[in-house]
Amino acid sequence: MAEHETETIIIDDIVAMGAVRQVQKDKWKPSEKVKRYRAYRDELRLKIPQNFAMPSEGYHLTFYLPIPASWSKKKRAAMEGQPHQSKPDKDNLEKAFLDAILSDDAQVWDGRVSKRWSASPRIELCIGRSASGKRSGTSASATSGKAGSASSRRDGWHNERRHRFSNQS
């Protein structure tokens, strides 16, 4: 795949659900939440293309969550496509998605997740380098003082920011 080439997979007619905490008892007597979660994972597995391979990096998952029917038509129209800033949490949505399609999601190390309101619930998966949200023209060595742990990269970034701000006076 070329540097800025992307592929989008749209999974229609599915209401995303966040991962749920399961306890030992759920193995033989699952709660209603666990039953719904398992049904969601099964449905997702059926809707994913057979030859699909989840990348370990550079993807953008967008969950379009349903707008409540109790909202007015005006409010529903205004909220279409707007950021969804209530539960379920985006990390739980991603976890449920990855658990459904991968037997071992430990291989996934970089991805972006968004939640939006929509009258037509769906999941969109954009795969490609430009989907990763990386800024163009920036390398790890340019933003950090040295290669190494996440904390050294973070400290390098803060030092760079302080340096830029201190030159503004």
Q: What distance in Å separates the CA atoms of residue 6 and residue 129, rounded to the nearest whole number?
A: 7
Q: What is the pLDDT of residues 140-151, one digit of tens each?
A: 333 333 344 444
What letter represents residue 152's amino acid? S
Q: What is the pLDDT of residues 30-79, one digit of tens each?
A: 878 888 888 888 898 888 888 888 888 999 999 999 999 999 999 999 99
* DSSP H or E segment with residue 40: helix 32-47
Is pLDDT of 159 > 60? no
Non-local (6+) Cβ contacts of 160 within 8 A are 143, 145
CATH class of 6-134: alpha beta
pLDDT at position 71 is: 95
pLDDT at position 25 is: 65
Q: What is the pLDDT of residues 88-140, one digit of tens each?
A: 999 999 998 998 888 888 889 999 999 999 999 999 999 875 444 443 333 33
**What is the separation of C-alpha 17 from the centre of its chain, rounded to a whole number of angstroms?**
12
Q: What distance in Å separates the CA atoms of residue 63 and residue 30, rounded to the nearest whole number?
A: 26
pLDDT at position 18 is: 76
b/e for 23-54, b at 16 or more Cβ within 10 A? eeebeeebeeebeebeebbebbeeebeeeeeb
Q: Where in the chain is the domain with CATH 3.30.1330?
A: 6-134
